[in-house]
Chain A
């Protein structure tokens, strides 16, 4: 059964009203602010890609509720294993904007988690981070930490072997790991009906004896509630957030080749930000003046972050060699010297 608290028009369901009573004013406002920030950030990134300031970019638009609702439900000790489209999660958890921009600008430094964070760098090969989350949950269990591990992935990822192996391990070893699938309908051009003969991703949970939740992924209250609840149980669970990316797969993709405008329009009418804003207006939480001020602050913050990234000069040649091994072996040191020489004699430009 699809868990739903907030309807596309902004009205609360019965379960939604109950949950709304339970959460604090501060939480309500945080949910709103992060959604607005992430949308602004994401649109700015698409623009920067068009202007050649960053590389290929995977937009989040349409999936903000899934990402922010889940991320806000996490605790400091939780291990987080994102895929490449989790800028909303990163942002909500406090990963610096400069890091996110650096990553999409091709700088490895952007992958470095801030000290004390268990936010793992983005995983590019589909579904391969799921077994890592299983292992991190295992570590949590062995150390008796008050935490969980969560892996983020898409609907396409459920076809890879690693997905099934991870769920099986989680079930067999009873690990506190959440498998959070954002079912946005497509794996690049392939719709979910062609990805799987099952109607939904959660159908797979039964096969591994783990918990399952299917939630309206454009409903930030429902997602927030489900993850809060699931993380408390410290049991393995498969969560399917039904959502949609309203943009292309990446800035290198042309979505009009494989989906029709009509379908996109249907989903635009289910926009996660619009419906939460409607609720906040009704509840008197949306202070227009305050929000405008914050949007301006955010825009300045983004521009400053970009400037900061642009001013960073590449670490050559050490950026190629640092951290490949714990300590640079002698033979590799020789190659680093060669690389230095190439920079010094102009064979390679900085």
Chain B
């Protein structure tokens, strides 16, 4: 039985064992095992040449990882918190995401950038933000978010196998929230597919990461109202698995999209746009978003008010069900 953070460490262990070109780089990932212990035990097992404590410099970490990738290595980078990726933003959007195109396929840009993210854990300023949309907006990158210990390992190994650069976002709130059986061997989950956690007939709830337990709780509460909700975990924010969400929306006719990030230009906006382009004829009510407000993520005393919760999701569903 592993927690999500343990299964992430395990996935990296398997990757390091399997391919000698895999390197881990990041702040405090070596001797300290990562501030969340997501690389626990790996420095001891693989040594400081492969599990590398870098200077405190995100641009340096990501920029040099691109050079390593061009040289045939497979860097797995840890950014300590997603908000601290910003010094590396230049490297990611101007270079990592473009090197394959710019070199016309000659140079590899293959790497995984892991970053814990999201709120709900009472952390200081800039430790809780959900900025996935910046990266979904960047062509050339893939963005993947797990929601369980099992899928975390499978998706991370899938991301490591992928020749494209993948931003792998790890919901902080789920790091230790539950344990489950995770095989210790190598296995992958497809990194471009959504996952259906619950089947339902009346409404489709779409989310990812830390929203999934909330959506499952909401679907449970909705059963009491005789409403059957389908819960879809996007898993891949880029590319978006259109088939799965379109099929579900056609079946239920109602869609609620839930994310922590601010509403405006959040990934929910993209999903809503695609639904309105492709399945509008099948919808019985407007597409609804439950999201963070368009304000900076608050200091933690107010985060409970900022974040989507079960009540907010259930109310949104009721609006759609009773929409005339």
State in angstroms the CA–CA spacing of A107 and B58 once bound together: 28
Knowing A107-B299, A347-B309, A348-B304 are in contact, say whether A55-B122 is a contact too (CB < 8 A).
yes
Contacts of A196 in B (CB 8 A): 55
Q: Are B300 and A106 in contact (CB under 8 A)?
A: yes
**Residues in B neighbouring A124, C-beta threshold 8 A:** 83, 124-127
A94 at the B interface (CB under 8 A)? no
A128–B119 Cα gap in the complex (Å)?
Answer: 22
Given A124-B124, A156-B56 in contact, is the A342-B31 Cβ separation under 8 Å?
Answer: no
Q: In the complex the two chains form, what is the Cα distance from A263 to B60 in whole Å?
A: 30
B177 interface hit (Cβ, 8 Å) = no
Q: B306 at the A/B interface (Cβ < 8 Å)? A: yes
Binary A-proximity of B84-121 (CB < 8 A = 1, otherwise 0): 10110000000000000000000000000000000000
Residues in chain B near residue A125, CB distance under 8 A: 83-84, 86-87, 126
CB-CB contacts below 8 Å: B256-300 with A: 263, 293-296, 298-300
Q: B293 near A106 (CB under 8 angstroms)? A: no
Q: Is the CB of A320 within 8 A of B60?
A: no
**CA of A157 to CA of B127 in the docked complex: distance in angstroms?**
18
- Across the two chains, which residue of chain A brings its CB closest to B311? A347
Judging by beta carbons under 8 Å apart, are A160 and B312 in contact? Answer: no
Interface string of B126-147 (1 = CB under 8 A from A): 1100000000000000000000
- Provide the bound-state CA to CA distance between A348 and B139, in Å: 37
A100 to chain B, nearest CB (A): 13
Q: Is the CB of B305 within 8 A of A258?
A: no
For the complex, what is the distance from the CA of A252 to the CA of B27, rounded to whole Å? Answer: 16
The smallest C-beta distance from B110 to any residue of chain A, in angstroms, reads 25
Is B123 interfacial (CB-CB < 8 Å)? yes
Task: Give the docked Cα–Cα distance between A195 and B126 (Å).
Answer: 23
Of B30, B87, B299, most buried by chain A (CB within 10 Å of CB) is B299
Interfacial residues of chain A within 305-350, with CB under 8 A of chain B in the complex: 314, 316-317, 319-321, 324, 331-332, 335-336, 338-339, 342-343, 345-349
Give the size of the chain A interface in residues (CB under 8 angstroms). Answer: 49
Among B84, B296, B301, residue most surrounded by chain A Cβ atoms (within 10 Å): B301
Contact B301 A335 (CB under 8 A): no
Q: A107-B299, A314-B302 are in contact. Are A189 and B124 (CB under 8 A)?
A: no
Are B295 and A320 neighbours in the complex by a CB distance under 8 Å? yes
Query: Does B57 sit within 8 A of A, measured CB to CB?
Result: yes
A257 to B37, CA, bound (A): 11
Docked complex Cα distance between A319 and B263 (Å): 18
Q: Considering only CB atoms, which chain B residue lies closest to A322 in the complex?
A: B295
Given A106-B300, A125-B83, A347-B312, A56 contacting B124 (CB threshold 8 A): yes
Given A187-B27, A335-B294, output 17 extra A-B contacts at Cβ < 8 Å.
A56-B122, A56-B124, A106-B124, A107-B301, A124-B83, A156-B55, A160-B87, A161-B57, A189-B30, A190-B56, A314-B301, A314-B305, A320-B295, A320-B306, A345-B315, A346-B311, A347-B311
19 contacts between A and B (CB under 8 A): A56-B124, A84-B124, A125-B86, A161-B59, A162-B87, A188-B32, A190-B28, A190-B53, A190-B56, A195-B56, A257-B33, A319-B302, A320-B295, A320-B298, A332-B293, A335-B293, A338-B293, A339-B293, A342-B305
